[in-house]
Chains A and B, each alone.
Chain A
Amino acid sequence: MAERRTEVLVIGAGPAGLAAAAAAAACGRRVLLVDDNADPGGQIWRGEGRAHLAVPARFEVRCGVRVVDACGASAVLAESAGGVERLTFDRLVLATGARERFLPFPGWTLPNVVGAGGLQAMVKGGVPIAGKRVVIAGSGPLLLAVAAYLRSRGARSLLIAEQTGRLRLARFVLGLAGAPQRLRQTLELRRALAGVPLLTDAWPLSAHGAGRLEEIRLRTRRGERGERCDLLACGFGLVPNTELAALLGCRVEAGCVAVDEHQATSVAGVYAAGEMTGIGGLDLSRIEGEIAGYAAGGDERKARAGLGPRRRARRFARALERAFALREELRELPDARTLLCRCEDVSVGRAARYPSWRAAKLHTRCGMGACQGRICGAAAAFLFGWRCEHARPPASPARIATLAAQHEV
């Protein structure tokens, strides 16, 4: 097995990972940044990430590299088109981000019902959206960002259904008065969406169509209504990606990787930054990345300079969390026959007969398929209040040859 040694290894090239790599490099460390996508940028800057790299970048970036497991102490196992390698580090910064939460409702598995962030990525990847009627539903600021992007790419008509209440949303926007820059961003976003209806207290009840999506039923403040559309893009908030951190032995609390003041995890020499430590948006991710990068690079003074900004950004994150908390009614969306696990065709009704995630998994196969519960686990956690963890290797499907190479060290 090939072996690569570096002083600071950063996993994940989204905003947090990019900031961490830059900070560690600024400390004079040799830094390697790896990401499993074709380009750096993470979810938000997908396809535009190179623009966010300092030029010339003072660290090495390698894309198309997927880290699948720990590999002894101070190393991880990675696979790429070139094969398998062991990446050895003195310090590690994890910045593996978050994924969208899907909630099941009747019809959610119809073709053309997609994830909101997923649709944005597809369009960035070249899927045409011009002339399409799109409903964007779920919760959180991501819905607005996706709507603005789709509009800029020529989507014909758009409708946003935000589940949170009008009052809560208003309170949130008012709260932004103390953060003029965020308020400006928000207003700009709203302007970019001028003419796009934004319904609050609204969510999809069901999706219908023969073979593919034709119409959805929406619950709104004025009761139920139908809406014809070509695409339904859903996202009910984000879920931290903690699988790799857990395999490295890092403590995970309430679904987030636990970190101290300097973004250090419970494992010595391993730091974590960005959405995996708690959902907080772009600014918080960058600040955490910078703190983690400086701490991993050995410059405690510079790391501490980020603590104040992080405190403010966390305040905003908490406000976001309150404003967009999922409402109880959403638990009633699926009926007993609605699929919970798409990989293994397990309905909500079947899973509901069991007392825990593990019992449901073992007795129905829910969460046992290719996605290993990454999608249905988050939904089940919300629907049933279960703790849905995955602490078994590999962090994502990996070639058998990769796992077999682990002891050639």
Chain B
Amino acid sequence: MSGRTDVLIVGGGIVGAACAAACAQAGLTVALVEADLAVGMDATAAGMGQIVAMDGSPAELALTRYSQRLWDDLARSLPEDCEYERCGTLWIAADDDEMEEAARKATRYHEHALQAELLEQRDLYALEPALRPGLAGGLCVPGDSILYAPRAAAALLAEAERHGARALFGCRVRALHEGEVELDDGARMAARTVVLATGARAAELIPELPIRPRTGHLVITERYPALVRHQLVELGYVKSAHGTDADSVAFNLQPRPTGQLLIGSSRQYGRADPAVDRVIVARMLKRAIAYLPVLHGLDALRVWTGQRAATLDGLPYIGPCPGRAWLFVAAGHEGLGITAALATARLLSDHLLGRAPEIAPEPYSPARAWLETVVRA
């Protein structure tokens, strides 16, 4: 490569890999530095990999919906080992209150031209007979999909490399300077734009970013093919999962293409330790058994933890850093970074090339962080 690097991406998770692909495809010279020895080894390897249109706020729905469309376009060219599958989501309503929420959710999806079908009790059991009796109904969102995120990150990085990007592994960045990053060994690398895509660790390099790690646990089972066909999520999910700062669990289950079941989810602040918290796993599994009783007798192979990058308002930081035009932030995606990776990358490349973005970028601007900091002070 000759001359100066246009874009230097710090972090080789799915967000960094997607940014590298988008920028390299756009003709920019790209370098990516990753602390680990391979791509997608952190949150990207720990998450569920569901590509889901999520309607926690209008801005969240706009971002996830947009990104989902980008994934749909990319799906055809993804290698098979990305295990992309359009299995759809079933949002489960336990009672009449949740049925009403399902109806409101359907309306919001329809406003964004998203397919979503309200399910009566009978329809629910026709689709997923293993669910416990007595549920009220639900909402089927057929456009949601799943993939195996570490391989998807590898595919995106390979695409970037085909367009001339280079990736350096085992290189941790310890400090940012104007137009430059400083590696652990003291070496410096310069670029016109530095992109911070270090996920839950973003605040280590930009302390002003109020990004906090939020631990999640997942359990993977032996193979039980065709037991469940859709990603199953309780409608209480948003309430119990996003609602408070307290530890929480919610029923969220994904059928893997291997026939295994991936069971979530939990959310906890303040656990730096990667060790498994047995108590929250037990709570999470109890909740899962309550929705899908057959789980009781099935075998679990492994339990692990991962860190989501949580922000104060639940939206990621995507955009230039106030007062530091050379620094672009792409972090803080909480539980939606796989979904939102492609939209994040597109917002970045649009910004760098001066193209008009397809969705309004303001709600994701890192400037919020500085405003929030001022308000808190």
Q: Which residues of A contact B (CB under 8 A)?
A: 69-72, 354-356, 358-359, 362-363, 368-370, 372, 392-394, 397-401, 403-408
Which of chain A's residues have a CB closer than 8 A to the CB of B302? 368, 372, 392-394
Which of chain A's residues have a CB closer than 8 A to the CB of B169? 355
Please report which residues of chain B, range 283-322, place their CB below 8 angstroms from some CB of chain A when the two chains form the complex.
283, 285-286, 288-289, 295-304
**A404 to B251 alpha-carbon distance, docked (Å):** 13
26 CB-based A-B contacts, threshold 8 Å? A70-B278, A71-B278, A354-B38, A355-B38, A359-B37, A362-B150, A363-B38, A368-B301, A392-B276, A392-B302, A393-B303, A397-B222, A397-B300, A397-B301, A398-B300, A399-B296, A400-B288, A400-B297, A403-B281, A403-B285, A403-B300, A404-B285, A405-B282, A407-B278, A407-B279, A408-B282
Q: Does B40 contact A (CB under 8 A)?
A: yes
Q: Are A358 and B41 in contact (CB under 8 A)?
A: yes
**A404 to B284 alpha-carbon distance, docked (Å):** 8
Best-buried of B221, B285, B296, B301 by chain A (most CB within 10 Å): B301
Q: Are B289 and A406 in contact (CB under 8 A)?
A: no
Which listed residue, B40, B150, B263, B276, touches A393 by the CB 8 Å rule?
B276
Given known pairs A355-B37, A363-B154, A370-B301, the reply for A400 and B278 (CB within 8 Å) is no
Kindly provide the distance from the CB of B325 to the nearest chain A CB, expressed in whole angstroms: 35
Chain B residue with Cβ nearest A356? B37
Kindly provide the distance from the CB of A368 to the nearest chain B CB, expressed in whole angstroms: 8
Which of chain A's residues have a CB closer than 8 A to the CB of B214? none
Q: Does B65 contact A (CB under 8 A)?
A: no
Q: Are B299 and A397 in contact (CB under 8 A)?
A: yes
Which of chain A's residues have a CB closer than 8 A to the CB of B288? 400
Chain A residue with Cβ nearest B298? A400
Q: Are B300 and A362 in contact (CB under 8 A)?
A: no
Which of chain B's residues have a CB closer than 8 A to the CB of A71? 278
Best-buried of A363, A400, A403 by chain B (most CB within 10 Å): A400
Q: Are A399 and B298 in contact (CB under 8 A)?
A: yes
Please report which residues of chain B, range 129-184, place their CB below 8 angstroms from some CB of chain A when the two chains form the complex.
150-151, 154, 169
Which of chain A's residues have a CB closer than 8 A to the CB of B36? 359
**A372 to B303 alpha-carbon distance, docked (Å):** 11
Q: Are B296 and A401 in contact (CB under 8 A)?
A: yes
Which of chain B's residues have a CB closer than 8 A to the CB of A362? 38, 40-41, 45, 150
Q: Does B59 contact A (CB under 8 A)?
A: no
Kindly provide the distance from the CB of B256 to the nearest chain A CB, expressed in whole angstroms: 11
Q: Are A406 and B281 in contact (CB under 8 A)?
A: yes
**A401 to B221 alpha-carbon distance, docked (Å):** 12
Kindly provide the distance from the CB of A246 to the nearest chain B CB, expressed in whole angstroms: 11
Q: Are B295 and A400 in contact (CB under 8 A)?
A: yes
Kindly provide the distance from the CB of B32 to the nearest chain A CB, expressed in whole angstroms: 16
Which of chain B's residues have a CB closer than 8 A to the CB of A400? 219, 221, 263, 285, 288-289, 295-300
Q: Are A401 and B297 in contact (CB under 8 A)?
A: yes
Chain B residue with Cβ nearest A69? B278
Kindly provide the distance from the CB of B157 to the nearest chain A CB, expressed in whole angstroms: 11
Best-buried of A354, A359, A368, A370 by chain B (most CB within 10 Å): A359
**A198 to B112 alpha-carbon distance, docked (Å):** 75
Please report which residues of chain B, range 261-286, place their CB below 8 angstroms from some CB of chain A when the two chains form the complex.
263, 276, 278-279, 281-283, 285-286
Chain B residue with Cβ nearest A77? B278
Q: Are B299 and A398 in contact (CB under 8 A)?
A: yes
Which of chain A's residues have a CB closer than 8 A to the CB of B281? 393, 403, 406
**A404 to B249 alpha-carbon distance, docked (Å):** 13
**A8 to B258 alpha-carbon distance, docked (Å):** 42
Which of chain B's residues have a CB closer than 8 A to the CB of A368? 301-302
Which of chain B's residues have a CB closer than 8 A to the CB of A356? 37-38
Kindly provide the distance from the CB of A47 to the nearest chain B CB, expressed in whole angstroms: 26
**A265 to B281 alpha-carbon distance, docked (Å):** 27
Kindly provide the distance from the CB of B372 to the nearest chain A CB, expressed in whole angstroms: 35
Q: Are A406 and B282 in contact (CB under 8 A)?
A: yes
Q: Are A363 and B150 in contact (CB under 8 A)?
A: yes
Q: Are B278 and A404 in contact (CB under 8 A)?
A: no
**A257 to B301 alpha-carbon distance, docked (Å):** 23
**A369 to B288 alpha-carbon distance, docked (Å):** 22
Chain A residue with Cβ nearest B299? A397
A405-B282, A407-B282 given; 19 more Cβ-contact pairs under 8 Å = A71-B278, A359-B38, A362-B45, A363-B40, A363-B150, A370-B222, A394-B300, A394-B303, A397-B299, A397-B300, A397-B301, A399-B298, A400-B289, A400-B295, A401-B297, A403-B285, A404-B289, A407-B279, A407-B283
**A362 to B286 alpha-carbon distance, docked (Å):** 28
**A74 to B156 alpha-carbon distance, docked (Å):** 47
**A407 to B296 alpha-carbon distance, docked (Å):** 15
Please report which residues of chain B, range 305-358, place their CB below 8 angstroms from some CB of chain A when the two chains form the complex.
none
Which of chain A's residues have a CB closer than 8 A to the CB of B282? 403-408
**A358 to B300 alpha-carbon distance, docked (Å):** 20
**A403 to B296 alpha-carbon distance, docked (Å):** 10
Which of chain B's residues have a CB closer than 8 A to the CB of A354? 38
Which of chain A's residues have a CB closer than 8 A to the CB of B279? 406-407
Kindly provide the distance from the CB of B299 to the nearest chain A CB, expressed in whole angstroms: 4
**A403 to B300 alpha-carbon distance, docked (Å):** 8
**A392 to B151 alpha-carbon distance, docked (Å):** 22
User: B89-133 interface mask toward A, CB cutoff 8 Å, 1 = contact, 0 = none?
Assistant: 000000000000000000000000000000000000000000000
**A401 to B302 alpha-carbon distance, docked (Å):** 14
Which of chain A's residues have a CB closer than 8 A to the CB of B151? 363
Given known pairs A392-B276, A394-B303, the reply for A403 and B219 (CB within 8 Å) is yes
Which of chain B's residues have a CB closer than 8 A to the CB of A355? 37-38, 169
Which of chain B's residues have a CB closer than 8 A to the CB of A392? 276, 302-304
Which of chain A's residues have a CB closer than 8 A to the CB of B276? 392-393
**A121 to B364 alpha-carbon distance, docked (Å):** 62
Q: Are B154 and A393 in contact (CB under 8 A)?
A: no
Chain B residue with Cβ nearest A70? B278
**A408 to B279 alpha-carbon distance, docked (Å):** 9
Chain B residue with Cβ nearest A354? B38
Which of chain A's residues have a CB closer than 8 A to the CB of B41? 358-359, 362
**A174 to B211 alpha-carbon distance, docked (Å):** 66
Kindly provide the distance from the CB of A68 to the nearest chain B CB, expressed in whole angstroms: 9
Which of chain A's residues have a CB closer than 8 A to the CB of B296? 399-401, 404
**A407 to B303 alpha-carbon distance, docked (Å):** 16
Chain B residue with Cβ nearest A68? B300
**A394 to B286 alpha-carbon distance, docked (Å):** 16
Which of chain B's residues have a CB closer than 8 A to the CB of A394? 300, 302-303
Kindly provide the distance from the CB of A181 to the nearest chain B CB, expressed in whole angstroms: 44
**A392 to B276 alpha-carbon distance, docked (Å):** 7
